[in-house]
Amino acid sequence: YMTPEFRNALYRWEFEDSEEDPVTSIPYQLQRLFVLLQTSKKRAIETTDVTRSFGWDSSEAWQQHDVQELCRVMFDALEQKWKQTEQADLINQLYQGKLKDYVRCLECGYESWRIDTYLDIPLVIRPYGANQAFASVEEALHAFIQPEILDGANQYFCERCKKKCDARKGLRFLHFPYLLTLQLKRFDFDYTTMHRIKLNDRMTFPEELDMGSFIDIEDESPQTESCTDSGAENEGSCHSDQMSNDFSNDDGIDEGICLENNSAAERISKVVSEKNSLLYELFSVMVHSGSAAGGHYYACIKSFSDDQWYSFNDQHVSKVSNYSDPNKDLECL
C-alpha cells in the first residue's frame, strides 16, 4: 500500500463479478483493503478477507508464514488474474531483475550459461559452517556473486575441451529491478540438533545502496539492455522515466484523499538517474519479532509524502526517528 506505483496500478484494475467470486479473488480483496486503508477513519483495518482469499482458513492465518511466501502467493495470483489486462506485466516491471548463472572453463575460457529472473535477492546471513555472520548487506551481496572453483571430483565437463576441467561457477547480475527487494535469510536448519533455528546476528545496511559495483564488467550491464527485453534501456533514463510515466501519474486516483501524487517517482527518478548510477534509496524494512517456532512481522516504512518513517506493528502505527536499528531482526529490505 505504501508503494504508490503498485497501489495505483491495482486501483486501475477492474473486477469482473460475472467471472469470479469476490471472496476468493486476491486482487479484488487487496484492492478493497487498500481503499479501506485510504478512506477509513478506523485505527486499524481487518485483513481477514484478504487472508481468506489466499486460501488460508482461520487456523492457517495464525500460523507463521515467511514474508517471501506471502509475496509469492500474492504476486502469482495477481499475475494470473491480470493476464490480458494493462497490468499484465506489472509485477515484472516493478520487481523483476535478471542474472546470469555461468560456468567458465579455466583451461580454454569456454563459458556455458543461462539467464535467470528474480523478484528478490536472498542473502545468507551466516555462511554454512561459519561461526561469524556477514557484517553488512554489502558484504553479503559480494558473497552472493563470489564464484566457486569446481575442481577434483567436482570438475566441469567442457564442451570445447571435450574433457573434465577445473572451472569457475558463479552468478552475475545483468539487470536490477525498479524496486529492489533484499531478503535476509534469518531462518536456517541446525543439523546438530535437527531443528529449525533463527539467526539473530547483527547486520548493518545503508540508507542508500549503490548496486553499480555488483555489475560484472565482463557482461552486458543494464545500461545496454533494450527496453523490449528487460523493461529498461538503461537504469538512468529509460527505466526510471518509464516507471514514472506508467505508474506514478495518479490521474486523479488519489486526489482529495491527501495522498502523494508524483513525489515517490520523482524521488526514485532523481536518485537513480544521478550520474547514471544504480543508487537505491531504502524506504521499507520488514522486521521479524520472535523465534523460529513463532512470532510476528512488523514493518518500518518511509512515507514519501512527508519523509517520515512509520512503524506498522499490528494495530499500532507510530512515528519512528529513523528507519530501524541494525540490531533488530530485519528480514526484508
Tell whether 146 is covered by a domain.
no
Note whether 180 and 97 are within 8 A (CB).
yes
Average pLDDT over residues 13-36: 87
Q: In the predicted model, is pLDDT for residue 296 greater than 90?
A: no
Tell whether 246 is covered by a domain.
no
Tell whether 53 is covered by a domain.
yes
Q: Which tens digit of pLDDT belongs to each residue from 201-228?
A: 888 989 999 999 887 655 443 333 333 3
Tell whether 271 is covered by a domain.
no
Is the Cα torsion angle 243, 244, 246, 247 positive or negative in sign? Answer: positive
Q: In the predicted model, is pLDDT for residue 244 greater than 50?
A: no
pTM of full prediction above 0.75: yes
Q: In the predicted model, is pLDDT for residue 306 greater than 80?
A: yes
Between 307 and 223, the more confident residue is 307
Tell whether 178 is covered by a domain.
no
Query: Residue 194's pLDDT band (boundaries 50, 70, 90)?
Result: confident
Residue 7's CB is within 10 A of a number of other CB atoms, namely: 21
pLDDT (0 to 100) of residue 128: 82
Q: In the predicted model, is pLDDT for residue 21 greater than 50?
A: yes
Q: Which three cell numbers stand for residue 117?
A: 529472473
pLDDT (0 to 100) of residue 221: 37
* % of the chain exceeding 70 in pLDDT: 75
Q: Determine which helix (DSSP H) or strand (DSSP E) holds 311, and give its type and residue range.
A: strand 308-313
Lowest-confidence pick of 57-61, 179-183, 294-298 = 57-61
Highest-confidence segment of 10-14, 171-175, 329-333: 171-175
Tell whether 101 is covered by a domain.
no
Mean of per-residue pLDDT scores for the chain = 79
Lowest-confidence pick of 192-196, 230-234, 259-263, 282-286 = 230-234
pLDDT (0 to 100) of residue 168: 97
Q: How many domains does the chain have?
A: 1
pLDDT (0 to 100) of residue 64: 54
pLDDT (0 to 100) of residue 266: 56
Query: Residue 323's pLDDT band (boundaries 50, 70, 90)?
Result: low
Which residues form the domain of 34? 1-95
pLDDT (0 to 100) of residue 280: 95
How far is residue 50 CA from its own chain's centroid? 21
Q: Which of 234, 238, 243, 242 is nearest to 278 (CA)?
A: 234
Tell whether 320 is covered by a domain.
no
Integer Cα distance of 25 and 167 in angstroms: 48
Tell whether 88 is covered by a domain.
yes
